[in-house]
Every structure is written in structure tokens, then in C-alpha cells.
Amino acid sequence: MEIGALIRRAGVNFGDAPCITEDDRTLSFREFDQATDRVGNALSAIGLRPGDRVGVLLPNTIDCLVAYYALAKAGLVRVQLNAREAVTDHEHKLSEGGARAIIQSGFPDLTADFQINLEQLRDMISTGDPSPCQIERPLDAPLRFAFTGGTTGKAKAVNLTTRCELMEISALLTDLIPDLRQGDTFLHAAPISHASGAFFLPCICRGAHSLVMQKFNTSDFLDLAERSGASMTFLVPTMLAMIMEDPKVDSCKDQFRRIVYGASSISSGLVERLEQRFGRVLAQTYGQAENPMAITQLAPEHHDRVGSCGRPYTMVDVAIFDENDQPLPPNERGEIVCRGVQLMAGYWNRPEKTAEAIRDGWLRTGDIGYMDEDGFYYIVDRKNDMFISGGFNIYPSEVEDVLLRFPGVVEAAVVGLPDERWGERVVAVVAGRPDLEVEAILLHAQTHLSGYKRPRALEIWPELPKSGANKIMRRRVKETLMER
């Protein structure tokens, strides 16, 4: 099945029901199908051919989603870009993906054979050939290029096929949001160029209404949640922490039945506060660019498993391997690995890196973790972020979890800096309320952490550096501290 067929079927099944809304603009399911046909045909008419790569650099808008799925209908490969990133990041990704065209708003200096701005895109939506656009390609041909997080170096293009995409949709509808249905409203507040966009096609399949926020802020989010009666949303932990600091949070009359979170680790203290406020509606999903969204999921009823990222999705195989690629028994730490239909086809034009990441069909996630006796998985930290201080392994996320429990701390990053005595010393940086005090936070850490895990120094910054996917970039924190 092609992605375009899902959209065409939704246009027939759900017709004039609202498909997607942004501010005061709404497209029905039928209108969304027609808009993607027009743009797909217009892109073919200017000379783009099936298999060509096209960068899309647009904010959270209806236009962005029309562009995404017009490309799919026209057999073009989406090169996924995030408007929050720097121009140098966009240039690298366009080059890495070999993009022939770019559809953009606000970045006229980016070069490609075909430059399509927002005005031209909207003209295509209005005047393009309305006949069905249906270019069929093999299920294992590239559908879109996602990118690795870039937290440890230059981002690599991840080749995701139509087969991968269909598996991801099935996984989300089977395990994570099985009760998504017609009449629901899914509030997209996180970037649709990243994880939030993964929920649009499930909404298409089930006839649910997608409500898109152009830019997230907590006050507008809470107002929109109450006004729309949204039943589901996806947010990253930093956004959830910010919402819990908003004065409106206690008075908001929301109707959330499911709040999905992921993309980075969450503190157990924040989970407790969220459940006290919203009830048992939290669902966690763990994935990465190479295995999008669907490695494990933690259902609302399992959130008493503190620190767990859940059990594997139904059609995903997960294990813990040692350094010799041998499976480990429960409660022993090793690298989390996974396999299944949902895996990437590989890193685009990087066969050596692909061979390092996927061995014998198993993807090495780079995450250190373990599985308990009941089959629940726990992420300890990124393999590359662990450091040694005084002979002890330090996992930054364990220390960060404690710091995030301090009232008013919204973001935290822990890194190891060179030290003559300890090899590396534990240093922390936090951000949050303006009245935070270093001494009080260090005392909190001293009370709740073993001696070797306690920060030797702590700084308070206005905010921490984050990737376009809202992941805190420990590497940049460390670089800033090292430059002093």
C-alpha cells in the first residue's frame, strides 16, 4: 500500500469532516486529499522525477503537511528539516540527502535546483492539476530521510521506506494510541518535522482531527487544549515541565485521554506531578531516527514502573546485548538492541556506518539499559554520555533525575570535565525558575545522591542548548564549560 492510498481512502471515508486545523484555517479530509494531489502534480510538472529528494523547511502549518504528503504521492523523497535549527544544519542535511529541490519559508539563501517558497506552494495548492496523483514505487524504496540527532557529531541521513512508515503507523495504532477514533482531536504542539508528525497519519487512518500549533508556549497550549477539547497530544519532557510551571495549569479544563511523551528521558518527579494533575493518561514511547518512534512503549497503567520505558511494541524484537553481541539475562546492564520490519534501510550513502549500526539484523541503539523479570526495559543512559569519575561509572541521567526533582528546576545536564584527581569530575548545569539558588540545589543533590555521583560544581543558565528535536545537547554544554 502507498501512503497516498491512505490519504485517498480517508478522503472517501471521512469526506467533509475536519482533517486539520491551524488557527482559523481548516481542511476537510476530502480537501486535504485534493490539496496533496494538486501539489504532487505541480511538482512533477516542474521537472521533479520519482526518487528525487526534496527538502521541506516549513513551520508547524497545514502547508507543511500538504507538502509532506504531496511528495509521497508524487514518488518524491522528503528530506526532513527543522526550522528551529541553524542554516549550517540545513545546508548539511540538504547536501547529505542530495536534495534537488527545497520547499521553504524564510530561508531564501538555501540553494537547490528547484526553489519553492511558501507563496509558490500555496499557488500549487490552489491551481495545480486536480487529477489523482499516484506515482507508485516499491515498498522498500526511500520514502523520507530523517536524521540522527547530531548530539555527538554531524547528523546522518536515515533512509526510511514506505514499509517502515506503514509499520510505524500500525505500531502506534496497535499499542500506543489504540483508542484513537473519529471525533477525537489530536493537538500537535511539538514540531511536526519531528516526533509529533508521526501521529498525523494515524489520525488520517482513524478520522481524527489534527489541530496544529504554529509555535508552542504553555499559556496558548492550555487555552487551546481547553477550547478544543483535545483528547490526545504528544509533547517532549521539557515541554511538560514548562506546562507544570504555568499558573494556568491547575485551572485548565482539559479533556486529555492520552498524553504521549518521548524523544528524551523524563524525571520520575515530573511523572508524579503530571499524574497528580492530569490523572493516569501518560504514555511513553521510545524510539530513535533509525527505528522511528516504536521500540518500546509504557502504557498509562504501567507508570508505577518508575524509570521504565516500557515493553516492546507488539511487532518489535528487543534485547540487551553485551560488548560481544551476546544477550544478557534480566537486570544486567548492556546495550539495548532491536530488530523488525520498522528498522531503517540504512544510512544514506554510508554503508560502513550502516554496518556498524546494524549487525545480524539487530540495531545497536547506543543506549545502555536493562530488562527486568517482567519484560520491562529501563534506559540508564546514552553509551557515549557515560563517564568515569574516581573509578565509578557515572550515568548523567541518574544525576539529572535527582536535580529535576528540585522545585523549579525545569532542565538539567550533567557532564564530566577533566580532573587531575578524579579523572573526570561531575559538573551540572540547570535552568528553570529565576529564584533558583546553587547552594540549595547542591544540598538537595547531597541528600539524594551517593558521594561519587554528586556534582562538584553547578551552574544556573537561562536555558540549556537543545537540538531541533528539543533534546538537551550535553556535548554543547560540555564544550561551553571547557572553553572557560
Whether 49 and 142 share a structural domain? yes
pLDDT grade for 358, boundaries at 50, 70 and 90: very high
Q: What is the CATH number of the domain that holds 454?
A: 3.30.300.30
CA distance 336 to 365: 6
Per-residue pLDDT band at 83 (split at 50, 70, 90): confident
Domain that holds residue 58: 1-383
Instruction: Give 94-150 pLDDT, tens digit per residue.
Output: 999 999 999 999 998 898 999 999 999 999 999 999 999 999 999 999 999 999 876
Kindly state whether residues 274 and 158 are assigned to the same domain.
yes
Q: How far, in Å, CA of 5 to CA of 45, rounded?
A: 21
Closest CA to 386 of 474, 470, 464: 474
Q: Would you give the distance in Å from CA 99 to the centre of its chain?
A: 22
Q: Do 354 and 419 reside in the same domain of the chain?
A: no
Q: Are residues 364 and 410 in the same domain?
A: no
- pLDDT above 70: percentage of residues in the chain: 99
Which residue, among 162, 190, 153, 164, has the nearest Cα to 291 in the 3D structure?
164
Reference 84, options 189, 191, 241; nearest CA is 191
The secondary element (H helix, E strand) that includes residue 45 is helix 29-45
* The residue count for the chain: 484
The per-residue pLDDT of the chain, averaged, comes to: 93
**Within this chain, do residues 180 and 271 fall inside the same structural domain, yes or no?**
yes
Task: Work out how many domains the chain is built from and give that number.
Answer: 2
- pLDDT tens, residue by residue, 306-323: 889 999 999 999 999 999
Residues 302 and 401 in one domain: no
Cell numbers representing residue 245 in the block: 510551571
Provide the b/e sequence for 129-155 (b: ≥16 CB within 10 Å): eeeebebebeeebbbbbbbbbbbeeeb
pTM of the full predicted structure?
Answer: 0.86
Within 10 angstroms of residue 219's Cβ, the number of other Cβ atoms is: 13
Read off the pLDDT of each residue in 408-423 and give the average, rounded to a whole number.
Answer: 88
420 with 317, same domain: the answer is no
Specify the CATH number for the domain of residue 21: 3.40.50.12780
- Boundary (domain end) residue, out of 383, 403, 418: 383
Name the grid cell of 89: 544544519
Same domain, 373 and 409: no
The verdict on 359 and 457 lying in the same domain is no
Residue 179 has pLDDT above 70, yes or no: yes
For residue 335 the three cell numbers come to 546495550
Domain check: are 364 and 391 in the same one?
no
What pLDDT is recorded for position 153?
A: 64
For residues 146 and 245, state if they share a domain.
Answer: yes
Contact present, 70 and 43 (Cβ < 8 Å): yes
Q: What are 53-63's pLDDT values in tens digits?
A: 999 999 999 99
pLDDT in tens, 248-279: 999 999 999 999 998 777 878 889 999 999 99
Kindly state whether residues 405 and 372 are assigned to the same domain. no
d(CA 284, CA 297): 5
Of 383, 412, 432, the domain-final residue: 383
Nearest 5 degrees, angle CA 151-CA 153-CA 418?
A: 80
DSSP for 442-464, written as a single string: HHHHHHHS-GGGS-SEEEE-SS-
Which one of 383, 411, 436 terminates a domain? 383
